[in-house]
Structure 1
Amino acid sequence: MYLKVHHISGSGDVVAVCDRELLDTTLCHGDVEVCVTRGFYGSETATEEEVRRALKGAANVNLMGKRVVAIAIDMGLITRENCIMIGDIPHAQLFRI
């Protein structure tokens, strides 16, 4: 998995995580195209434990992929119904207010 924390002054951090095989790909579903880039998801790999720690207190999360979404579901952060599918890849965003 790839994990990047975007530090945004005044509005909290954005934690972006994607499954390893999705990095540098473009996902398509109908007219929708999503580019899974290093600029957003990072270029450093992370373990499941590192991902769990990052997600635990995050106020803003962006998840792309079957494994990372499964981790968030296991942690009780989202449900499968909260995800959208881009082709056969689940994507979820979480915002804590």
Structure 2
Amino acid sequence: MIYVKVYRVQGEVLLAACDEELLGKTFREGELKLEVKERFYRGELVEEDRLKELLDEATIANLTGERCVSKAIELGYVDPERVLRIQGVPHAQMARLFF
């Protein structure tokens, strides 16, 4: 299961999603720090298959965890070469550009 939270601000749709077990944890590697903050990520707890419809609507996404990031890669939203790993935890961001 994954936590998803959708923010709608000034025409943008931001999706924050993380694997359930990562919520509230902090990861560090060198100078990098990844905080999986409850106030940002804790929303609805859903099956990872629900991620497709949420990513279809999102203009920005912040994804943390093996399940979230792998699903986004599988769906073509994230380039696997652009995934950041901090203490082995994958983190990816997506921005949809409209011209």
Measured after TM superposition, the shift of residue 31 of structure 1 is: 2.1
**Identical-pair percentage:** 34
Q: What residue is the counterpart of 1:64 in the other structure?
A: 64
Equivalent residues in 2 for 1:1-97 (5 A)?
Answer: 1-8=2-9, 10-97=10-97
Task: Name the CA distance, whole Å, in 1 between partners of 2:84 and 2:34.
Answer: 12
Q: Which stretch shows the higher mean deviation, 71-80 or 49-58? A: 49-58
Q: TM-score, normalised by structure 2?
A: 0.89
Residues 30-58 of structure 1: per-residue CA shift (max 9 Å, x gap):
12222111111114311123222101221
Size of the aligned set, in residue pairs, is 96
Amino acid at match of 1:7: R
After TM superposition, where is structure 1 displaced by more than 2 Å over at least 4 residues in a row? none
Task: Return 5+ residue gaps in structure 1 as ranges.
Answer: none
